[in-house]
Amino acid sequence: LPLEYQKALPLLKKIEEAGFEGYFVGGSVRDVLLGQPIHDVDIATSAFPAEIKQIFPRTIDIGIEHGTVLVLDGDESYEITTFRTESTYQDFRRPDQVAFVRSLEEDLQRRDFTINAFALKEDGAIVDLFGGLNDLDNQVLRAVGNPYERFHEDALRMMRGLRFVSQLGFTLEEKTKASIIENHALLAKISVERITVEFVKLLLGKNRRLGVEMLVETNCYHYCPGLAEHKAGLQRFAELPSMPLTNEIQAWTLLIDQLGLPSDAIRSFLKGWKCSNQLIRSVQQAFKGLQWRKTQAYTQMLLYELQVETIAIVESLLPYYGLENQAPHFIAAYDALPIKALTDLAVNGTILMETFNKKGGIWLKEALLACKTAVINQEVANEQAALLEFLQETQSHLVSL
């Protein structure tokens, strides 16, 4: 067992000592069997939330109506969720109401794919009720039970399937795939936020090409914000060199470029995906840098504007265009800039108003801009005396009374 499981093993023991069943479940069991690193250890139990809270002294109610209690153990915390069924599906979305049950089998039945429906016992034995081990071996993604029914219960499962294709490089089992093609339009019922989570994981998957091709082949892209008219762009994106993308800013920037969107369409495209304003700004900056860098080196001013994080992202994207990543070179150039922000400038508004004995106004903004530009372009030293002299000599129309 991996270290994360060994650490969590005492919790399973405690649950069993109290007379209940407890298992490791979900993505972590799949990842352990695949020999991949795991992120969260999820535990499923026959104990009801109130019973879990009696067993463990330190707990937080994080989703008690869904049966989930967070148990604190040393400096770790674990989500312990009561076995449940999700019987009351309305409107093709995940249910608001769940029923707690005492049977592991019923809990595993509600899960989406056979490789996500394992339970791992305290003694290391694997519960595999739906042939998941076989599917792991054959690298097949198969819905648990009848795919048509499962996608009707919760249409998001189709997007989850596509992102697992991208993350794992697995093939969709024939009926599962046919059912996604048939039911793709049910995605219209799913909130954008939930679709976005899966789509970003798909973009960042190691087998991005497969995932994006399946997104197109199953027609699910029709129900992704802003993508319906972009089949050809998505295919171009799928065909990019296969190096994996490591962060969301990279992924969106590259996608938007392959879709051929103009820079002034980025905001509304990403708003459609409910991206944060901060992410949108980062993508706009990276996109600007990328367009420039595809044909030439940065100017001093562009280095200043983009700042080091965006420069690194832009450089990391160049290999997708057959160009060289020159991050070390351009980060050194950024580091050598005389100023990194306006506050580094040796003059400020107060100094200029006092020196030239003028009240604030448009002249002041323009004078500061002239100083900033001259300093960044290394035409004037970033020193107060040098800058005041520069203004008097070259910008007298601004600073004279």
Please give the residue ranges that form the binding site for ligand ATP (CB under 6 A): 26-27, 42, 94, 111-112, 116-117, 154, 156-157, 160
Q: What is the DSSP code (8-state) at residue 91?
A: T
- Residue 100 sits at φ, ψ, to 5 deg, of -80, 140
Q: Is residue 27 a contact residue for Mg ion (CB under 5 A)?
A: yes
- Taking the complex as a whole, the smallest distance from the CB of residue 123 to ligand ATP amounts, in Å, to 21
Q: Which is nearer to Mg ion, 27 or 211 (CB)?
A: 27
Work out what residue 122 binds among Mg ion, ligand ATP, none; the CB cut-off runs from 5 to 8 Å by kind.
none
Q: How many residues bind Mg ion (CB under 5 A)?
A: 1
The Cα–Cα gap between 291 and 196 comes to 25
Q: Which is nearer to ligand ATP, 156 or 214 (CB)?
A: 156
- Taking the complex as a whole, the smallest distance from the CB of residue 226 to ligand ATP amounts, in Å, to 24
β 119-120/126-127 pair status: antiparallel
Work out what residue 142 binds among Mg ion, ligand ATP, none; the CB cut-off runs from 5 to 8 Å by kind.
none
Residue 42: in which H helix or E strand, if any?
A: strand 42-45
Amino acid (1-letter code) at residue 175: K
Work out what residue 21 binds among Mg ion, ligand ATP, none; the CB cut-off runs from 5 to 8 Å by kind.
none
β 42-45/76-82 pair status: parallel
Which residue number has the CB closest to ligand ATP?
A: 27
Q: Which is nearer to ligand ATP, 44 or 314 (CB)?
A: 44
Q: What is the DSSP code (8-state) at residue 93?
A: B
Q: b or e along 62-93 (b: 16 or more beta carbons within 10 Å of the residue's beta carbon)? A: eebebbbbbbeeeeebbbbbbbbebeeeeebb
Work out what residue 95 binds among ligand ATP, Mg ion, none; the CB cut-off runs from 5 to 8 Å by kind.
none
Q: Which is nearer to ligand ATP, 156 or 375 (CB)?
A: 156
Name the segment binding Mg ion (CB under 5 A); options: 24-32, 73-81, 84-92, 326-334.
Answer: 24-32
Radius of gyration of the chain (CA): 28
Q: Which residue do the tokens 């081990």 mark?
A: 133
- Taking the complex as a whole, the smallest distance from the CB of residue 14 to ligand ATP amounts, in Å, to 22
The Cα–Cα gap between 333 and 335 comes to 5
Q: Is residue 44 within 8 Å of residue 107, measured between CB atoms?
A: yes
- Taking the complex as a whole, the smallest distance from the CB of residue 26 to ligand ATP amounts, in Å, to 3
Which residues are at the interface with Mg ion (CB under 5 A)? Answer: 27
